[in-house]
Structure 1
């Protein structure tokens, strides 16, 4: 029997419970899972799979998997599988505490990779054979096409490349998602590639549905569960000050003739600082804006609803429960203004450069010369991953990185002599912003950048220490182009590890 959500007769006949579907996944397999920042991930099969792995381990049997996703997922997927020791390898981005702890303990191999490169790595064969895809969808059409869920991520690639496919049809996902997606099937391998025909963020260049060979679908599992989406704290004073510096910088660029009053397509990372910047654009009277980004979170949804952002392109929604309510209530309006795409398109270097995106991303720390660490604590412990920040930083019109000037109650300076891990080199960073101020690094030599960073971004408690380091490096370093005291360059991090503070 078919219904509105599963309207393809042959696929409706393959409905089964989650535990039966999980039994189709064997130890050692590579599994491509849907999910991007807590949206659109499979809800039932991973949990059933975790129970199967736990039972196998109880019998003394090895059972580990290679898990590939779009980005972070949720405790029901990453957390459940990590907790039972079911993940041998994981990419690309993650945020689950259980998964992170096991990665940093050396129990799980983790590959951090630019989000825009994952699909092409899979198509190039760099990630090996994909045995199974487990993909959440909002529905199955009579002809077998799939209505995507609240995230697209790498689902197109997993569906195309996997030997077998398990579909989770989530009845909780609003039917109004139908028509919001744009799935582009025009990508190709070198040397057959052609330019992607997208000129504006709202352009539709594909079709609204995902395709799958029905013969590959081995199971259809029905679910009825919400995405696991967190709440970000409302912007605090520090976030508002950071946002104020960035908004004033945009005004300065407009006066200088380098930006139009409608700016350029915005890319914004997630978190309360990103929401504060978006709120600052509203308070600053900006309008007629567009976005070409990875995720749409509450702050951007508000601007879309108010018409301040006229069109937004992304690969996923990342909304609070309250944001989900607004989205569902006004979905007919949002469907006219939001386009959800595969992340190989939302994060494609060619498109980011063509559109001239303004990239705004968070960071862990930056050094005097503009190198940025987005991923590691003390150079060794991964936090979440690089995500898509590098896709936009390298290729955007402006690459802006933001952070409070201190962390851990002032025990850590986020401006340091040398970053302990480099995700974005000085060559890809245009602007650094803390609550102390903004350093415009464009067109400057390393030493000129250092003076700007110390003067405008460093916290007053650390500014004299940074100035002292820089002055002595100018005097004593072997080379004077990028002066460093190599025996001291990472001493601030070591001091924090030894004493709990970077202060001497």
Structure 2
């Protein structure tokens, strides 16, 4: 019996092979769908073996590049390694690797930055072309051929359904106790055959605990025993703590105003230090019986689960630090029934975000005076990571926050600018902006009122007078265009100044 009992399907057990042999099923020009979401559940062996094949082919003067589809970001041994050997010609729908980011911004790799809830549907519609091979990590293959998912679900269901060939990696590092942690919904039919998704609570089960695959498509199974990319989190800095304090205090205000219950509404938080600082702030706050309907379970959510303040969390992936992973692995059974992992087309589904009344907390690169937010591009053109799930949640949330320090690069860049250099979230989708300077509630305000509040509460003092001057001159120079005052000849002057001089 293979992999210490992890592969028990009699039809599939004979397909166990090496990563090198499995990688031979991938050829130049193919599209490859892989598991993985924010450093969890990605294949550990086949991508490296594929990179070696690519490197050898390039040394012979042969082309060998593929398109790579995933759930979200993966790890250096996937995105970084394949980018390092110049083996990618297309990447979607999200990337967080610095080596690959450099190649995307250099124009070598085509990047399709998509809302994470949309990527599975767009694949089904054929917008990305045919999917040749899926490489999916799982925790076990059961006797009946069902697959026990690992530490993320992401787009795995879609890749397994759509791929012509399937390679499975069965990773013994993934706890066998993960069986029962998942809810994989198979009812997202294409229009006009859709029915409403029957989910009214974050922990309601609407699908199956397993992934399914046609055994005839499985061409190889590779056994691994390797950890996820468990990156440590930096302790929240003073700015992050200040933003967390402002945000938590604002939630108190919403409860006092009767706009949400004392247990709050289901929470969604993006990844990073500010998100963890907010969870830390909630740990010390008075709210009890909270829930989360989010994408990624970071250490902060695990802390809230352990404290008992968070009753349950629905997500699509873990995204823990080494300390957080060890805590989970020491007793995974204690989280069963309180943690549910779903496909990202459900964890990020706009219909469900709107219905559940989610409170969304996401980061940004910059915001402008009127509340438009750029969360993806530096100076308008260079992609950072991608929109991820922020748009899925922000437009449909009951209440959303966008958070960022008020400056970057030691004060050389203001995060509050006259006009954002790239728009991901329009002013119509942004409720609250938060920096360490303060919080601006933009709901119910006209554009000029928003500008006044953003300058007063969110802009760094070094930039406030210049922002005020910009608005006042825009009003004076265009008296018949004062609804959203702009000086079109100056709107991007701050960005141009930074590119030319290194300072806005």
For the 8 Å contact 2:240–2:273, the answer to whether it is kept is yes
1:9 match: 10
Give runs of aligned pairs for residues 387-398 of structure 1, distance below 5 A.
Answer: 387-398=388-399
Moved more, 370-379 or 472-481: 472-481
Matched, 1:491 2:483: no
Q: Distance in 2 between matches of 1:500 and 1:379?
A: 15
Matched, 1:174 2:160: no
Moved more, 228-237 or 70-79: 228-237
Give runs of aligned pairs for residues 396-411 of structure 1, distance below 5 A.
Answer: 396-411=397-412
* Deviation at residue 330 of structure 1 after TM alignment: 2.4
Per-residue CA deviations over 1:268-325 (Å, capped at 9, x if unaligned) read: 0011100111111121221110000000000011101111110100000000011000
2:196 match: 195
Q: Distance in 2 between matches of 1:64 and 1:175?
A: 35
In structure 1, stretches of 5+ residues that fail to align are: none
Q: Distance in 2 between matches of 1:412 and 1:136?
A: 41
Q: Distance in 1 between matches of 2:203 and 2:23?
A: 38
User: Equivalent residue of 1:250, what SS?
Assistant: helix
Matched, 1:414 2:415: yes
* Deviation at residue 9 of structure 1 after TM alignment: 1.6
1:122 match: 123
Give runs of aligned pairs for residues 435-450 of structure 1, distance below 5 A.
Answer: 435-450=436-451
Per-residue CA deviations over 1:236-256 (Å, capped at 9, x if unaligned) read: 111111011111111111111
1:333 match: 334
User: Equivalent residue of 2:94, what SS?
Assistant: coil
1:273 match: 274
User: Equivalent residue of 1:235, what SS?
Assistant: coil
User: Equivalent residue of 1:462, what SS?
Assistant: helix
User: Equivalent residue of 2:99, what SS?
Assistant: helix
Q: Distance in 2 between matches of 1:324 and 1:246?
A: 27
Q: Distance in 1 between matches of 2:106 and 2:72?
A: 21
Give runs of aligned pairs for residues 279-290 of structure 1, distance below 5 A.
Answer: 279-290=280-291
For the 8 Å contact 2:283–2:303, the answer to whether it is kept is no
Q: Distance in 2 between matches of 1:54 and 1:35?
A: 23
Q: Distance in 2 between matches of 1:186 and 1:58?
A: 46
State how many pairs are aligned. Answer: 502
User: Equivalent residue of 2:455, what SS?
Assistant: helix
Q: Distance in 2 between matches of 1:251 and 1:228?
A: 36
2:482 match: 480
* Deviation at residue 335 of structure 1 after TM alignment: 1.4
User: Equivalent residue of 1:7, what SS?
Assistant: coil
User: Equivalent residue of 1:300, what SS?
Assistant: helix
In structure 2, stretches of 5+ residues that fail to align are: none
Q: Distance in 2 between matches of 1:286 and 1:399?
A: 18
* Deviation at residue 439 of structure 1 after TM alignment: 0.4
Q: Distance in 2 between matches of 1:356 and 1:123?
A: 28
Return the TM-score normalized by structure 1. Answer: 0.99
Q: Distance in 2 between matches of 1:97 and 1:250?
A: 35
User: Equivalent residue of 1:325, what SS?
Assistant: helix
Give runs of aligned pairs for residues 74-223 of structure 1, distance below 5 A.
Answer: 74-223=75-224
1:362 match: 363
User: Equivalent residue of 2:128, what SS?
Assistant: coil
Q: Distance in 1 between matches of 2:177 and 2:373?
A: 40
2:73 match: 72
* Deviation at residue 128 of structure 1 after TM alignment: 1.2
For the 8 Å contact 2:230–2:325, the answer to whether it is kept is no
Q: Distance in 2 between matches of 1:371 and 1:232?
A: 29
User: Equivalent residue of 1:486, what SS?
Assistant: coil
Q: Distance in 1 between matches of 2:230 and 2:113?
A: 22
1:301 match: 302
* Deviation at residue 4 of structure 1 after TM alignment: 1.5
Matched, 1:256 2:257: yes
User: Equivalent residue of 1:494, what SS?
Assistant: helix
Q: Distance in 1 between matches of 2:477 and 2:422?
A: 24
For the 8 Å contact 2:133–2:167, the answer to whether it is kept is yes
Q: Distance in 1 between matches of 2:419 and 2:487?
A: 10
Matched, 1:453 2:454: yes
Q: Distance in 1 between matches of 2:403 and 2:206?
A: 33
* Deviation at residue 229 of structure 1 after TM alignment: 2.0
1:49 match: 50
User: Equivalent residue of 2:118, what SS?
Assistant: helix
Cα RMSD (Å) of the superposition? 0.8
Q: Distance in 2 between matches of 1:329 and 1:287?
A: 25
Moved more, 272-281 or 327-336: 327-336
1:241 match: 242
User: Equivalent residue of 1:310, what SS?
Assistant: strand
For the 8 Å contact 2:271–2:296, the answer to whether it is kept is yes
Q: Distance in 2 between matches of 1:310 and 1:333?
A: 12
